[in-house]
Structure 1
Amino acid sequence: MNQMNSPLIRIGVFYDGNYFLKISDYYYFQHDRKARISLEGLHEFIRHQVAEEEDVDVRLSQIIDAHFFRGRLSATEARDKDRLFHDRLLDDILMNMGISTHYMPLKTRDGRLQEKGIDVWLSLEALELAIHKSFDVVVLIAGDSDYAPLIKKLNTVGTRVMLLNWDFKYTDFKGENRVTRASQQLLDQATYPVQMHEIIDQGLSTGDELVESMFVNTPEPVAYPTVKPVRPTGPTAAGPVGTVGISTIKNLKNGFGFVVMPPNNLFFSYADMAEGDFNELREGDWVEFTVGRNHRDEDCARNVRKVEAPEMDENDEYDPQDEHEHESADSPERL
């Protein structure tokens, strides 16, 4: 059994970025916790978990290196999809945590953006760094079976592998069933497979501080500064791109919604929030927005923020749920 005078347990953490962001989105939009994963809190959990598995004092369990791998949109594509701010925000978080970033350009195949080569790059870097920096434990945050050869190779050089994995399913905004589950190959070969979904759910139910610290407790920063406009006295119709409007929210789903604006209600997502927390919005809330265009060249709502209901004229009989709404306009296919 390891004692206090044992050597330091050197930990290297490797993120499959796309996998991790899906996990974070799940807890923010689908799970009752309604919060994103905190990288700082996750790293503290990792230190404690490794210390427990290696049977050492947590002070001897230290993360000495961390790397984040992900496919990323080009600047032009990110701008067109209003993703520049959120990509930069993620970069700031990773930079402040001392996590090295590794990005590859997303490739378009069959009309869809796809991530290729990330698993190979992560595997090569992890193996090389494990050898040169003498990692005792590599923590892998991934779920794809493509990482199975990496675990085998790490085992041959005497490096233990802790696999943080999640198992959950939900229905997305298109009504499609989504499942996230780690490959059984990874689970079988990892030295320390950790069922994160079970640990988190149990920890949240018992008020475990270490689990609670794994979630961000502050609202997400906003992409646009707050500007107080001239307050209208009722709903304003959508005009050309850049027009500021005000109306009510009709539908809210997991991460997206529609602003009432006949004849075609305007789609918006959590990324279009100018301020406030998307999860605090409710159907029927009044919001202010800017008319924009999506990648299909259709009207959508940008810079969305909750506002107080305007003072309606006594003769104004506007009903945001009236017959002018078109159900087809509320289809997620408008994404």
Structure 2
Amino acid sequence: MRVLFPLLLGLSFAAPYPVPPLHPAGQVDVGAPAQSVALSADGRTLVVGTARDVQRLDPRTLRSLGVLPGSDGSGWGATFSRTGRLAAAGMTRGVTVWDDLSRPPRTLDSPGGRVFALAWHPDGQRLALGDAGGHWQVTPGGPRGQLRGDVMAAAWSADGLTLYLSTGQEDSATYALDAGTGRVRWRQQNVPATHTRRAYYGLDEVNGLSLSPDGRTLASAHQDGRVLLRDAATGHLRRTLTGGEDTRWAAFTPDAQVVAVGETGRVNAWTATGQPAGQAQVSGELWHVLVLPDGRALTAGADGTVRAWRLPTQVR
């Protein structure tokens, strides 16, 4: 069933009633700070990127299935292509790419320092990356450029014609770029007048980007705790989700509802109409969230734990 958004654009939702708890559904200790989780397109391969390596997990039980070859220190922003390739960024300039998970990987370089943003083109052959120097590129053979702040996240439109990027530091904005030319189609910056800047966090860093299943809505995770839902084609603000803190990443469920995590260890879930539907709190930072096809949400924690959460019926 299609989700219909309210006609009031930019509407903000806060909880008028106590938010029910999210219930745990399993966890695994991966031995190092967990930075990202990714699932292959066929649903058979789950990986967690840590500060030390990239590990395979059983998608059903979360049991560890071993470390990928050549993954030393390559765990940030792990992401699968539709064709089964895996990319992850390390602590330096490099990006590690596995064309076959059973074989040693190859390495891509970035000109501007550590890579934060990774996203595979829908064709499974090209990779968008962005780094701490504001450089972004589509490799191989695509456009490249430089933005004013660190490039924090990347996402592709389903047709592969638009590349979305977000930045931090003094830019702290969201961009839609023409994937063929690199031309900016729209740029949006939304920093509340009441927001108090924190050291090293720029204006209001846009830490994560995700597209809804129908490709019409772009979710951005903001350092001030908000999740903004924008029209992916125009950049116009549709809705503001509140209740989070230091939000690092947001993800959509298969029916276009939202789950987000943040640096304070909070997990938030909202219904399709923007109402708070569930919340959980853990000790330590949470860096990434992934929604599995069975309705569980996986969170990657700085304490080295990957946790599964059972989402309420209304947010599945």
> Which structure has greater helix proportion?
1
TM-score, normalising length from structure 2? 0.24
Larger Rg: 1
TM-score normalised by L of structure 1? 0.23
Bigger strand fraction? 2
